[in-house]
Structure 1
């Protein structure tokens, strides 16, 4: 990344953070830092006090630190941005060139003055402009502690930034960390998109309401033509749109991914996003995805399923919750499958009762506090009768093969197979060596019903 690209990159971050471009002194500080000048030399060249340069530099490093999620200062700003480019945006240079096709801000940037220029004449505009970013992240959850998901992040980035996926899905059992992962993803790649929007579907908007809501952000731009179909904006601009809690669109008591009455239009909407040519990306997050999307097995729709954390990172959760380190932590983590929310819930319960992990593990049965039961009840309450029957059998039997399940389940084989497929799509059932299993947590929950 050369100096011009670095200035351009920093300007985009500052504008997205503050709504203003780099001013003359901020640019002079960054330019001088890259050229290995001291604050004293920068102040002399800019004809201002060294204290002013230090103050502006400190504020600039703080902005960059918060946006890039690294501790940035004068000594490491260049290397950090270079490393960020390599690890997060392998095609950054191409994006800088392509950025000229985006709409630009009406406000122009102002270059720093040369040492011999008059400090009072600093209003000369630079014809170079930066893109006008529109990032509506008002519904994105706050990113708290983030536990390493390096491989998952890189896989998502590859699909979105390199393979240019137009539609992809991320599923996983409740509490596994899907939303947290995508929150981190958005923080790292949002500057590759002119428009970024995050919407939760918990309120179940109709497809017409959703499209209208998304289109509002485009129509706020005075340069845009109003009342175009959403797909036209997606074709014109590079957009990233996150739809969280997509499972709220589906009917209770039906197999996975069956739309509620009145929401069937989402089927044609997602088909349009998938099939028509455009330069944008939709990422769907939930316990399950639409049936018509789940059945597509080719690479047209990349599908990711999130599993539990590695033991080393799950330990961080227990430490942050305030548990004292014990030899039995490994067993506790395995019992709750490295599920962040499950571990936090159990850890809080242990602390409130003044127990130790060893006390909890003395009994053969798992500890299922009411708070955890309430969490598990959410996805289980959506199951069909056939799914409830199948998962009940899996909860009370061991080493259940398909042949055994067909023998003990009181339903037609076709219904059983459909229910089993649906439970797998909901991330409630796994297959291991021809044996169908559910988590020990779900098994204990079913036994206590």
Structure 2
């Protein structure tokens, strides 16, 4: 949510409570709160006393607290508005889903029928349909911990899954960007929209057979619990996905692929996952697979059409306000040059936590850190970068070295001129690095993030 959207949402809440829209001072208090201005600064702009601003602010927080059912204050106004926005989206998606659910529980466009309203006056008849039993195996799902604003991304994923009924979604991004945290938050919000919600970590399923057998065992055992026990053999996995509304998250999907190769090349014992993902995409069913990792399968395009049931969301850094919460959480509430530090580390939550810990432990200031474009690389951050660097091919390493030597973004022609790489190999390497989120592209220019550039220069 941007500032304008938050003010509009707050104005609606105040109007519903008081019958009056926000006045200029109230709007200025909310705007100043979002921009981290003090009451003293707001009072100066309005040529009034700070105590007057505090009094109006106190009344405003009281109205919002009563309407939202939680204590709202200057310190948590942004997060309260974002929670409300996510809740509104989730409730809307739930209503849309409920309007489309038929007796067959199919919302994929096949077998849909309007609900039977011939006996709508009879409460007993209208509520006689049994509700589906929910089965959730989220034992492998990490605990969320502190979650920093990803309102737009949550809205996008929720829309894709609950409204557009996408069958296969990849959530990618460089290490530490917050992919798993976002997926956990998403699952917590929408899991009850599905008969089955399952979180799988790839390390637990070294082969496709074990992965399938674990899922089919869960489905078959649940079906026996929901009905009379039978000796019927478990069905193929795709049949369960067709018979039930399932949400299945596969975390660390990059572990399917070989290190030292271009992105998306399957390990020898993992080739059959390719067929599974194709089956999930092509065959009609009412379930969704969410793949989370550093790189997506080759068969999932990075640019997708709304006419297809697959989507890709490439996660980027947090905005300045959300990233600043990380620094405050690390005890750097009054840090100078906050925005410059966040920009240098590109709003990457893990990178910011690492450098914030170093700053705090050494007792240095952000001003000292930012002198002469210095990029601090704590040892724990180096370890993370090393893991991702080790996955790349020799060809990709050559291209990253070329980009690290450049002070400005460069185009394909200059890279081709400066290196001993054929045009075909260079194109493949750039595509692979893009899929790994290891390079940045703007128009026809390529570059590395300052952090990666500093790391590669130090090798």
What is the rounded CA distance, in whole Å, between the counterparts of 2:322 and 2:143 in structure 1? 20
Give the SS at the match of 1:431: strand
- 2:197 alignment partner in structure 1: 196
Give the SS at the match of 2:139: coil
- 2:148 alignment partner in structure 1: 147
Q: Retained in 2: the 8 A contact 1:89–1:189?
A: no
Q: Retained in 1: the 8 A contact 2:177–2:350?
A: yes
Q: Which range is displaced more, 427-436 or 226-235? A: 427-436
Q: 1:252/1:83 Cα in 2 relative to 1: closer, same or farther (>3 Å)?
A: closer
- 1:420 alignment partner in structure 2: 430
- 2:380 alignment partner in structure 1: 371
Matched, 1:217 2:218: yes
Q: 1:87/1:359 Cα in 2 relative to 1: closer, same or farther (>3 Å)?
A: same
Q: 1:296/1:229 Cα in 2 relative to 1: closer, same or farther (>3 Å)?
A: farther
Q: Retained in 1: the 8 A contact 2:336–2:365?
A: no
Give the SS at the match of 1:333: helix
Give the SS at the match of 1:291: coil
1:89-108 equivalent positions in 2, closer than 5 A: 89-93=91-95, 95-96=97-98, 98=101, 101=104
Q: Which runs of 5+ in 2 are unaligned?
A: 1-67, 72-82, 106-126
Give the SS at the match of 1:146: coil
- 1:411 alignment partner in structure 2: 421
What is the rounded CA distance, in whole Å, between the counterparts of 2:365 and 2:166 in structure 1? 47
Pairs aligned (count):
351
Give the SS at the match of 2:373: coil
- 1:445 alignment partner in structure 2: 455
Question: Structure 1 residue runs of 4+, over 6 Å off?
Answer: 81-85
1:7-406 equivalent positions in 2, closer than 5 A: 86-93=88-95, 95-96=97-98, 98=101, 101=104, 129-203=130-204, 205-221=206-222, 222=224, 223=227, 225-294=232-301, 297-299=304-306, 300=308, 301-399=310-408, 400-406=410-416
Q: 1:431/1:84 Cα in 2 relative to 1: closer, same or farther (>3 Å)?
A: closer
What is the rounded CA distance, in whole Å, between the counterparts of 1:206 and 1:439 in structure 2? 35
**How far did 1:208 drift?**
1.1
Q: Retained in 1: the 8 A contact 2:264–2:295?
A: yes
Q: Deviations over 1:145-203 (max 9, x none)?
A: 11111111111111100100011111111111111111111111111101000111135
Give the SS at the match of 1:298: coil
Q: Retained in 1: the 8 A contact 2:326–2:353?
A: yes
**How far did 1:434 drift?**
2.3
Q: Retained in 1: the 8 A contact 2:96–2:163?
A: no
Q: Which range is displaced more, 280-289 or 197-206? A: 197-206
What is the rounded CA distance, in whole Å, between the counterparts of 1:193 and 1:71 in structure 2? 28
Matched, 1:429 2:439: yes
What is the rounded CA distance, in whole Å, between the counterparts of 2:70 and 2:86 in structure 1? 12
Q: Which range is displaced more, 330-339 or 352-361? A: 352-361
Q: Which runs of 5+ in 1 are unaligned?
A: 1-68, 73-80, 103-125
**How far did 1:349 drift?**
1.2
Give the SS at the match of 1:262: helix
What is the rounded CA distance, in whole Å, between the counterparts of 2:347 and 2:289 in structure 1? 28
What is the rounded CA distance, in whole Å, between the counterparts of 2:411 and 2:144 in structure 1? 41
What is the rounded CA distance, in whole Å, between the counterparts of 1:248 and 1:324 in structure 2? 37
Q: Retained in 2: the 8 A contact 1:85–1:92?
A: no
Q: 1:190/1:203 Cα in 2 relative to 1: closer, same or farther (>3 Å)?
A: closer
**How far did 1:87 drift?**
2.5
Q: 1:318/1:232 Cα in 2 relative to 1: closer, same or farther (>3 Å)?
A: same
TM-score calculated relative to the size of structure 1: 0.74
* Alignment root-mean-square deviation, CA: 2.5
What is the rounded CA distance, in whole Å, between the counterparts of 1:438 and 1:282 in structure 2? 31
Q: 1:393/1:70 Cα in 2 relative to 1: closer, same or farther (>3 Å)?
A: farther
TM-score calculated relative to the size of structure 2: 0.72
**How far did 1:226 drift?**
4.0
**How far did 1:398 drift?**
2.6
Q: Retained in 2: the 8 A contact 1:202–1:246?
A: no
What is the rounded CA distance, in whole Å, between the counterparts of 2:199 and 2:259 in structure 1? 25
